[in-house]
Amino acid sequence: MVSKVLWDQSATPSSIMTTALNSLADNTISGASSVVDNAANLDTMAWLELNVTYGTAPSDANPSVDVYIAESLDGTNYQDAPVTGGTDQAHLFMGSFPVRKVTSAQRLVIGPFAIPPSKFKLYLDNQTGQAMAATGNTLDIKVANLEGQ
């Protein structure tokens, strides 16, 4: 009989976007992240960390960087990726990083999110009114499970 449920956070954060966000224009979708293969580990939750800088402060009323997921149920073929920034891609939407209107470096964390027991890729949509800086923008993921004891 399980007497308590604890987080199992043995995985360390891993970088899944290292250059795909550099100079990402406003109202534009990034290229795909590295593949996150969750078919073997079967993790249930994930947190995302965006490290971003803008050369010119974001100017939209509510600047955000939106996250979209594309799954591969068979391990090879992925669902269609989002193609146009700012367009309703509700079937792929995961969440949003609210971005401050500053030019200093920002470290933003969102989650937890339920993640599928399959391979998947992430895409980011820059909805801030400004392009991201030319270097140094990354996306990291940390996964975890609940463990009965």
**In this structure, is residue 12 part of a structural domain?**
no
**In this structure, is residue 5 part of a structural domain?**
no
Residue 148 has pLDDT above 90, yes or no: no
Q: Between β-strands 138-148 and 5-8, what pairing exists: parallel, antiparallel or unpaired?
A: antiparallel
The residue-averaged pLDDT of 74-92 equals: 82
Residue 91 has pLDDT above 90, yes or no: no
Which residue range forms the structural domain that includes residue 130?
Answer: 17-148
- pTM recorded for the entire structure: 0.91
Number of domains in the chain: 1
**In this structure, is residue 125 part of a structural domain?**
yes
Q: What does the alpha-carbon distance between residue 39 and residue 69 come to, in Å, rounded to a whole number? A: 15
Q: What is the dihedral of CA 30, 126, 24, 99, to 10 degrees?
A: -130
Tokens representing 111 are 């989650």
**In this structure, is residue 9 part of a structural domain?**
no
Helices and strands per DSSP (H, E), number in the chain: 0, 10
**In this structure, is residue 53 part of a structural domain?**
yes
Q: How far is CA 52 from CA 3, 8, 11, 106, 137, in A?
A: 42, 28, 23, 5, 5
10 band by pLDDT with thresholds 50, 70 and 90: low
Q: What does the alpha-carbon distance between residue 33 and residue 25 come to, in Å, rounded to a whole number? A: 17
Residue 99 has pLDDT above 90, yes or no: yes
- CATH code: domain of residue 126: 2.60.120.260
Q: Between these two residues, 3 and 51, which has the higher pLDDT value?
A: 51
**In this structure, is residue 10 part of a structural domain?**
no
Residue 139 has pLDDT above 90, yes or no: yes
**In this structure, is residue 60 part of a structural domain?**
yes
**In this structure, is residue 1 part of a structural domain?**
no
